[in-house]
Structure 1
Amino acid sequence: MIEEGKKIILFDGVCNLCNGAINFIIKRDKHKVFVYASLQSEIGQKLIAERNINTQEIDSILLIDPGVAYYHKSTAALQIAKHLKGGYPLLSVFLILPTFLRDWVYDIIARNRYKWFGKKDSCMIPTPELKALFIDQ
């Protein structure tokens, strides 16, 4: 069950870069806006199917705002940044750039993430104190 008002971040659970990004977000999520699940999990697959998202075309982080919309690639990253403490909300200014340009940069990183940052054999297991933030446990 997902707490009302929470936004869901779906991420590649075996990607070292993605796991690092989730840890980064957790530390800076000042209002505990987000909950998390891996794309590979049962709940991740269910949320993807409910929104008819083709994961062959969208190989990226997904931000689901239940009842509102979902975002992917650079738009998801910038929407997430809006809710982080520090100067990160200022990054949302990049939303004025054309999506194709922002996603071009995002896609280069996404295509090379395993080569540059490595890959795990299985999805990360959150520490006991973080377990409540993961809806796929």
Structure 2
Amino acid sequence: MTTVYDVPPNHLIDAVAEELKSSGKIEPPEWAAFAKTGVNKEMPPVNPDWWFVRCASVLRRIYIDGPVGVSRLRSYYGGKHRRKTVTGSFAKGSGSVIREALQQLERAGYVKKMKAGRQLTPAGQSFMDNLSHQVKLEVQKSIPELERY
């Protein structure tokens, strides 16, 4: 049984993002082309598929940390906010982006709302585990010295 912990995160997130995009269950909102992902960012993301990547990353984060709320995810996706000559300090990520991603993942059936936050459904866990297994096989084919993954 292969889980999310057994594969490199970047490969898994790319695979989940592609699957979410091809399934049609997740659609970027109209404002996604113009939105920044946090107050600490100066420009919107360059990747045209950034919405699917963020949804995949949120899904992985819920798998690892769940149940988790919007506030903890905002802290995870935050970063250093530079303020000209003043020393930079930490700023949380965009709550609107995370909230909308969680709502879409709920409608897709991968996440459910609990009292303590949001948690993966059995369908969401099986979705992530199946993709983890596929990614593990691909990684082992492409890089044979990575036997430990």
TM-score (norm 1): 0.29
Q: Which has the larger radius of gyration?
A: 2
Greater RCO (CA < 8 Å, at least 6 residues apart): 1
TM-score (norm 2): 0.28
